[in-house]
Amino acid sequence: MDILNKIDTKFIKSLDTLQIKLNEHLKILEVRRREREMKLCGVCYDRDADYQLKCVHKLCNTCGTIVSRCPFCRTAFYPESKYLSIEVDFPITDINLIFGRARPSHSDLLNVLDTLDHYMLSYSGINHFVHICSTINNMLGRFIYYREIVNGVRFYKWNINIPVNLVVYLFVRSLRDVDTLSQENIGYLERRILRLHSDMIDRLQYYNHDT
């Protein structure tokens, strides 16, 4: 009988030891599971999260482009973004900033517009497009066109905060020899710049779709 009791005691102790080891193993697995979940996108649970929202939930770049609110707590989703100049990787702190520009004569302006129109008709490709945008920005002294990096994805945009019609109106009337121009000539220059701007917007949409 004593032998049986000793066997039972040893067996119970063995079971207890196994249970303790099993519990410890399960705790380790749970910690690893939580660590893994913290790294995963909270929507698809397939890709690693690329950023954390202000509400602390995490998303990958792919899922982040298809939501406007956090899918868990419904907090408004404001993606991280940064502004860059249209042609080079130069960060823009304020896309509404007014910067210095030259005061060309009307003949200088016509030469620039003729060149830009030639580029529009004769060349395609993103490099020529951004060069035209950059030229217009420098001509008008505003960030009319810019690039925005949203969660690692590049977009070409035009600044809806800038009243382009008014900017062009004031620019043409600041030409060095504006006093020698008739109202018809001034209106002609305005229309050419605004038509070019309209063409740029169409190109923006095309290149964003292509991206």
Interior/surface letters 170-183, b for 16+ CB within 10 angstroms, e for the rest: ebbeebeeeeebee
- Ordered domains of the chain (ranges, CATH): 2-64 (3.30.40), 81-210 (no CATH)
Q: What is the pLDDT of residues 185-207, one digit of tens each?
A: 999 999 999 999 998 888 887 77
**Encoded tokens for 52:** 């954390």
Q: What is the pLDDT of residues 44-91, one digit of tens each?
A: 777 777 666 666 677 777 777 677 677 777 776 655 567 889 888 888
Q: In which band, very low, low, confident or very high, does the pLDDT at 154 lie, cut at 50, 70 and 90?
A: confident
Which residue has tokens 């800038």?
162
First to last CA, the chain: 82
Least confident of 124-133, 149-158, 194-203: 149-158
CA distances 210 to 125, 167, 186, Å, are 11, 30, 36
Least confident of 32-41, 107-116, 118-127, 139-148: 32-41
CB 76 within 8 A of CB 141: no
CB 70 within 8 A of CB 53: yes
Mean pLDDT of the chain: 81
Q: What is the pLDDT of residues 23-52, one digit of tens each?
A: 777 776 665 555 455 667 777 777 777 666
* Rounded Cα gap, residues 53 and 147, in angstroms: 22
